[in-house]
Every structure is written in C-alpha cells, then in structure tokens.
C-alpha cells in the first residue's frame, strides 16, 4: 500500500474511532441519566452504541471511567450553552432554567452524580467550573456589583436551587404548575429579589 493510501486508511480508522466514542457517550448519557451509575449496564450501552463491550472498556477503562467521561461532556455542554455572568445573575438563572427544561435527562444525570458520588474523586471539569464561578462571584461582591449578604458558595447554591426548583418538584405538583413562561419569570424574579433588585 502506498503511503497516501495508508494515511487515508489511518484517517478513516481515526474518524470511525471518534464516531464510536461519540455513539458510546450518547448511549451512556441516556443509560446513566435513566438508571444512575449503579443501575447502568455496560452491555445495554454497548448494544445501543452499536459496538462491543471490549471497545467500550478499551476507550474508557471501566463503567466509572465512562461515567466520568459522560459527566465531563455534560459539564462542557452546559457551560457552552448556559455560560455564567456574575453581573447578571437573574438572566443566568433564566438560562439555567431553560437548559434543564430542554434537557431533563441532564438534570437526572447531575442528581445521580450527587447521590452516587458524594465522597468520590472530584472531577477536574466540575472543580474548574466551580472555582471559576465562585471567583467571579467573589470579584463581583468585592466590586459592589453583587450584594454580599451570602458567601459566593451560598449565593451560587441558592441561585442553582431556584433555577432548578420547578424541575425537581414532586410529580404531584405538576397539575398545579403554571405555564413555562410563568415558571421562568418566577425564577428570574426570585433571583432579583435575592439580590435586592
């Protein structure tokens, strides 16, 4: 085989490997969101992804390694779509609300992460995003742009809780829930009140 033919074959193999990795991540995201880490089954993920379990282990090492990859990808997607602006926290809360309304499986994934990994090894992606957001809040408080009634970590926790409050209510409340636009307005208004606006 000539060098150009070999390079083309190698390039095709790399694209196939990348496509397989993406298919595994998509299938694993659904499986973990639905069943958690303990309930997820590697054989189901491999079947949905259209590969064998050996490939999955070759790429991710273990079910825990696969979950880490899934959760890291989720954090990156969340950041890309939602962003963070310490100077406009009500709008940020509205974007968080929108994101989880569109992606309820991602909220379940985050819930499973908190339930099943309370003492586990911290993921670099989560540590980095938390440090960045808390640092931005601290700076905004120091500059007087954000009230200092709460520490940055308490403020971020309250805003996240408000933004996801409708999505985490018991199913019995669904019949009484107002329209989506009303729910979103309530989230934004609650954060404005928290900030004395």
- Please, what sign has the CA dihedral across residues 158, 154, 84, 145? positive
* pLDDT attached to residue 175: 80
How do the domains of the chain map onto residue ranges?
1-61, 71-197
For residues 28 and 46, what is the distance between their CA atoms, to the nearest angstrom? 8
The CATH code of the domain at 1-61 is 1.10.10.60
Q: Give the total residue count for the chain.
A: 197
Task: Find out whether 33 and 112 touch, Cβ atoms under 8 Å.
Answer: yes
Distance between CA atoms of residues 44 and 17, nearest Å: 19
pLDDT per residue as tens, the chain (197 positions) = 454 444 344 344 455 778 888 999 999 999 999 999 999 999 999 999 999 899 889 999 999 999 999 988 888 888 889 999 999 999 999 999 999 999 998 899 989 988 888 776 677 778 888 899 999 999 999 999 999 999 999 999 999 999 999 988 888 887 888 999 999 999 999 999 999 87
**CATH fold of 71-197, please?**
Tetracycline Repressor; domain 2 (1.10.357)
Could you tell me the end-to-end alpha-carbon distance of the chain, in angstroms, rounded to an integer? 70
The confidence score (pLDDT) of residue 95 equals: 97
Q: What DSSP string runs through 109-177? A: HHHHHHHH-SSSPPPHHHHHHHHHHHHHHHHHHHTTSS--SS-HHHHHHHHHHHHHTTTTS-GGGGGG-
DSSP conformational letter for 40: -
Q: Which residues contact 57 (CB under 8 A, 6 or more apart)?
A: 42
Question: How confident is the model at residue 185, as a pLDDT?
Answer: 98
Query: Does residue 1 sit in helix, strand or coil?
Result: coil
Instruction: Report residue 44 as tokens.
Output: 């189901």
State the DSSP code for 62.
S
In this prediction the pTM is: 0.83
């Amino acid at each position: 085989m000539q060098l150009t033919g070999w390079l083309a074959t190698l390039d095709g193999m790399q694209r196939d490997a990348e496509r397989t990795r993406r298919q595994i991540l998509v299938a694993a995201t659904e499986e973990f969101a639905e069943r958690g880490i303990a309930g997820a089954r590697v054989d189901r993920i491999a079947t949905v992804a259209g590969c064998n379990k050996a490939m999955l282990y070759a790429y991710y090492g273990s079910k825990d390694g696969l979950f880490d990859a899934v959760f890291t990808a989720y954090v990156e997607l969340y950041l890309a779509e939602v962003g963070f602006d310490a100077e406009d926290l009500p709008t940020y809360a509205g974007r968080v609300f929108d994101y989880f309304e569109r992606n309820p499986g991602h909220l379940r994934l985050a819930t499973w992460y908190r339930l099943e990994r309370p003492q586990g090894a911290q993921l670099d992606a989560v540590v980095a995003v938390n440090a960045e957001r808390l640092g931005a809040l601290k700076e905004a408080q120091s500059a007087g742009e954000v009230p200092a009634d709460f520490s940055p970590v308490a403020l971020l926790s309250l805003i996240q809780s408000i933004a996801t409050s409708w999505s985490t209510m018991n199913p019995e409340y669904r019949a009484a829930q107002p329209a989506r636009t009303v729910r979103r307005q309530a989230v934004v208004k609650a954060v404005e009140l928290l900030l004395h606006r």
